[in-house]
A and B are shown apart, each in its own frame.
Chain A
Amino acid sequence: MRKQLPLLLTGIAALWFVLCKYIHVFNATGAMTTTDKWYNIVIATMTFIGVVNLTRIHTTHIQRRRSGYHNSIILLACLWGFLAMGLYYTNKHVNYRWVYDATVVPFEATMFSIIAFFIASAAYRAFRIRTLEAAALGIVAALVMLGNVPIGSVISGWFPEARSWLMNVPNGAGFRAIRIGINIGSFAAAMRIALGLERAHLGSGQ
């Protein structure tokens, strides 16, 4: 029953969504709209379960003084602090906005900015012309990089044109094929989950 019930619920929910989408009667009676509202409630509940689970895991880290437990203290303080602040002030209050703009925005921007430095050093080590394919990759990367910035057009008007051709023709063809493959694969994976053929998310059952 522990595995059969979730599989049954998944199958019923998937069938319901398909019926609501493709059978006009279900859509016209507002069943789809009601289902969408329930979806939002379920997502919110799942998010809260995630928060509780995260708290449980990191509290265990702190209690057992595992390596890096001070990071767990900071995480829990920020997580519950923001939650409390949001509940008390609401996210439209000037105090909440100030804390958000002073912490989350610069932290997240910094994390992404650090990636640029990592890319620079990784590119230096990775772009070695060992084979013909590596040479093609390196040359195309250089053309696209120079075509994307103003200094490329200052050096030569040919760089933006080369970049445009590379993006529209070979890249366009490649990504078209990738998209088709991804969408077919996603559909197949969704069908497997809906039909109960995919059970990895249910755990080992021990």
Chain B
Amino acid sequence: MWEKLQTLDRRVIYLFFVIALMIPLFKPMGLPIPIGEESQRFYDAFDKLAPGSVVLMSADYSPGSSAECNPQFEAVIKHAFRNNYKVMVFALWEQGAMLARDIAEQVSKSMNKTHGVDWIFLGYRPGGNIKIREMSNDLWGALLNIDGYDRPLNESPMMANIKKLYPPDIDAIVCFSSGSPGDGDYMAVVTDPSGIPLFTGQVAVQVPARVPLIRSGQLAGMIPGMGGAAEYENLTGFPGKAAGLMDAQSLAHIVILGFIVLGNIAFLAARKT
């Protein structure tokens, strides 16, 4: 029996996994979400920026990471609008631009923010860190003098004093990243040389690699995965999707751990017999 348990059909595992993910859809558990130190650090540092600060929010992720990064992006842009920051929505990934644009349009409408005055969509530009360097020398030239909707930049009042992606024209960068190009490129080209804060929202698998950068001060704050997004929603007081999805993630983790324990019990019992 123990040998059979060790080679359990993977479809049984999939079935339990699906059930665990579906239960919260029908019966939300409403688990309390404690605030982690990374999300708290991000919130405190981001909140300290002065009203009117120019913040670049870069959506460098694909639809595969949107389950984690979309709630992060939404929570942070709501925070930025609440504090009256000037937000530039940009992306080094083409899919990220489309995802971020939809969120920015929805949130700006609900919070009465005007495109061109309170926020601007700069769209996607290819080139990774080369494009960032171009933008840090000449933002308008790098964007070909048009925004993400193909409108001239000189029609947007908020862009009048923003000529470079470098201080004093910008005050902070928030990069939501699931790979490269991403926060590492902004760090190398803009934030490390200039000293302005770089914030990041990361997919969970990249969080361990970013921890040393927070310790060294190169990252001012990090939202770790969907859990971090749920914590940030709690901190800002703006309800979002992440908090509800954490119930499903909790049960999924319990299922995986349960099967790992079962597999090891079967392994040890088989060894004994």
- Residues on A lying within 8 angstroms of B by beta carbon are 32-33, 36-37, 39-40, 43-44, 90-92, 97, 100-101, 104-109, 111-113, 116-117, 119-121, 123-125, 127-130, 138, 142, 145-146, 148-154, 160, 164, 167-168, 171-172, 175-176, 178-179
Contacts and interface: CB of A to CB of B under 8 A. Distances in A.
A111 B65 CA distance: 10
A117 B130 contact: no
Given A120-B17, A168-B211, A149 B267 contact: no
Interface stretch (B27-35, B43-51, B52-60): B27-35
A109 B63 contact: yes
A108 B207 contact: no
Contacts of A178: 209
Nearest to A149: B250
Contacts of B66: 105, 109
B14 A117 contact: yes
Interface stretch (B72-80, B83-91, B166-174, B258-266): B258-266
Q: How large is the interface on B (under 10, 10 to 19, 20 to 34, 35 or more residues)?
A: 35 or more
Given A121-B10, A148-B204, A151-B251, A171 B211 contact: yes
B13 A112 contact: no
**Interface majority SS on A: helix, strand, loop or mixed?**
helix
Contacts of A91: 94, 98
Contacts of B8: 124
A43 B128 CA distance: 11
**Interface majority SS on B: helix, strand, loop or mixed?**
helix
Interface stretch (B110-118, B132-140, B154-162, B194-202): B132-140
Contacts, number: 153
B259 A145 contact: no
A22 to B, nearest CB: 13
A117 B134 contact: no
Given A92-B150, A121-B14, A150 B33 contact: yes
Contacts of B211: 167-168, 171-172, 175
Given A92-B150, A123-B260, A172-B212, A33 B134 contact: yes
A128 B267 contact: yes
Given A37-B134, A40-B126, A40-B130, A175 B208 contact: yes
